[in-house]
């Protein structure tokens, strides 16, 4: 008798829920791995899954063509998609939570556009590079670090402006998205103005930042993205309980011992860094940061201890899927991934909205 009483204790439902969430995480991970192997095999030099795995196991030093294609061309692009997808989705998830607005994302807060504006300024005004159409993929950015640095500054300045507005005017967090939209529009207009006065080759180079493209990614970019993402993923996931408390309102969270203002500031800053870094290296990629967290909420609910890492996984899946689609759909032409995510993301968002009955 007491055994049945114990298993039917309320906590049984909690354990059951935890198991279902772990299972959902494993499924997400499995989908990602399958997608990775598939994506590595696709392209102008197709490889069956077994050869992909062999080339991966053989290491980067192997000399056969499969190893070269995998290790020098496809793997850095794939890892960049993975890391940028994770960064943007994580940024979107935490922005949505601390601003309590389901529309918050790196794009709607203007952080991505700010980064693109920064890169454009560096290319045109500081003469950091130009695009020479010698071949299909010849980009000459003479000072890549200047461009990336300027993009970072642009993205972080936008985030700082939003935070400053929030602190000075005591704006309701919900209203901050409006400030973000205004700043994003300002950055976009600035980008257009600077492009208008640029030479043709410079304008072509700036285009690479106004629509995101994973073709820019090499091992160096992958390294930087990973270096930024890893600590912030841990830091943000550790705030899971506090973000759960925030879901009930600021006073409830404060009463539970959460330093609300500090949490909002650090989490938004971390999200801005994630979004700015991936935009700085790869250009503006929209909708991943908006869609991926919503997908995960549909699957596992709003417990941030799971939501944040799972949103990162979902972001990786969405961006890698979009990039693979963009590489294959009218091959050999490779579509910029930023355009593909927007084309896929907009209808997906509408479906989500309709399914949730407008809530």
From the CB of 254, what's the least distance to another protein, in Å?
A: 6
Closer residue to another protein (CB): 13 or 72: 13
CB 194 within 8 Å of CB 124: yes
State the Cα–Cα distance between residues 278 and 329, nearest whole angstrom.
25
303 lies in the site for another protein, by CB under 8 A: yes
3-state secondary structure of 140: strand
- Per-position DSSP letters for 328-347, written without gaps between them: HTTTTSPPPHHHHHHHHHHH
Of the ranges 56-64, 121-129, 238-246, 281-289, which one interacts with another protein (CB under 8 A)?
238-246
CA proximity to 71, closest of 54, 84, 55: 55
To the nearest whole angstrom, how small is the minimum distance from the Cβ of residue 102 to another protein? 12
Eight-state DSSP code of residue 247: T
Q: Please, which of residues 240-299 interact with another protein by CB under 8 A? A: 241-242, 244-245, 247-249, 251-252, 254-259
Cβ partners under 8 Å of residue 246, min gap 6? 97, 98, 100, 253, 258, 260, 263
**Interface with another protein: number of residues (CB under 8 A):** 26
Q: What number of other Cβ atoms are within 10 A of residue 38's Cβ?
A: 14
- Check residue 2 for interaction with another protein (CB under 8 A): no
CA distance 139 to 281: 14
CA 81 → CA 165, 295, 336, distances in Å?
33, 18, 12
Burial class (CB in 10 A: 0-12, 13-18, 19+), 63: exposed
Q: Are 268 and 96 in contact (CB under 8 A)?
A: no
Q: Determine, following the binding rule CB under 8 A, whether residue 140 of this chain makes contact with another protein.
A: no
Binding track, positions 50-69, relative to another protein; x by CB under 8 A: --------------------
- Rounded least distance, CB 28 to another protein, Å: 20
Closer CB to another protein, 54 or 250, in the complex: 250
Which secondary structure element, helix H or strand E, spans residue 139, and what is its range?
Answer: strand 139-140
Give yes or no for residue 302 binding another protein (CB under 8 A): yes
Q: Give me the least distance between CB of 292 and another protein, in Å please.
A: 18
Give me the 9-38 binding string for another protein, x by CB under 8 A, dash otherwise: xxx-xx-xx---------------------
Choice between 13 and 199, CB closer to another protein: 13
Contact call for residue 238 and another protein (CB under 8 A): yes
Minimum CB separation of residue 239 from another protein in Å reads: 11
Q: Would you tell me which residues interact with another protein (CB under 8 A)?
A: 9-11, 13-14, 16-17, 238, 241-242, 244-245, 247-249, 251-252, 254-259, 301-303
């Amino acid at each position: 008798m007491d055994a049945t009483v114990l298993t039917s204790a309320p906590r049984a439902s909690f354990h059951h829920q935890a198991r279902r969430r772990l299972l959902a995480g494993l499924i997400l991970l499995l989908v990602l791995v399958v997608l990775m192997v598939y994506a590595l095999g696709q392209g102008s030099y197709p490889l069956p899954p077994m050869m992909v795995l062999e080339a991966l196991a053989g290491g980067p030093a192997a000399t056969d063509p499969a190893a070269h294609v995998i290790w020098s061309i496809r793997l850095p692009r794939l890892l960049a998609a993975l890391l940028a997808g994770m960064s943007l989705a994580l940024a979107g998830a935490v922005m949505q939570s601390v601003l309590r607005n389901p529309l918050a994302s790196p794009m709607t807060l203007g952080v991505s556009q700010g980064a693109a504006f920064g890169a454009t300024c560096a290319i045109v005004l500081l003469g950091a590079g130009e695009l020479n159409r010698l071949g299909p993929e010849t980009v000459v950015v003479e000072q890549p670090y200047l461009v990336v640095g300027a993009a970072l500054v642009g993205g972080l300045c936008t985030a700082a402006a939003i935070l400053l507005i929030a602190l000075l005017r005591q704006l309701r967090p919900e209203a901050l998205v409006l400030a973000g939209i205004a700043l994003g529009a300002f950055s976009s207009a600035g980008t257009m103005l600077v492009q208008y006065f640029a030479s043709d080759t410079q304008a072509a180079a700036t285009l690479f930042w106004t629509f995101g493209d994973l073709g820019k990614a090499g091992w160096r970019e992958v390294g930087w993205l990973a270096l930024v993402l890893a600590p912030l993923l841990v830091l943000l996931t550790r705030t899971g309980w506090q973000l759960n408390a925030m879901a009930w309102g600021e006073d409830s969270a404060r009463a539970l011992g959460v330093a609300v203002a500090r949490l909002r500031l650090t989490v938004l800053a971390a999200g801005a860094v994630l979004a700015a870094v991936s935009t700085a290296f790869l250009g503006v990629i929209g909708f991943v940061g908006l869609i991926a967290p919503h997908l995960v909420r549909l699957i596992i609910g709003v417990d941030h201890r799971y939501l944040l890492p799972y949103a990162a996984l979902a972001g990786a899946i969405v961006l890698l899927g979009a990039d693979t689609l963009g590489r294959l759909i009218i091959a050999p032409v490779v579509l910029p991934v930023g355009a593909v995510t927007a084309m896929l993301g907009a209808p997906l968002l509408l479906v989500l909205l309709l399914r949730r009955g407008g809530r």
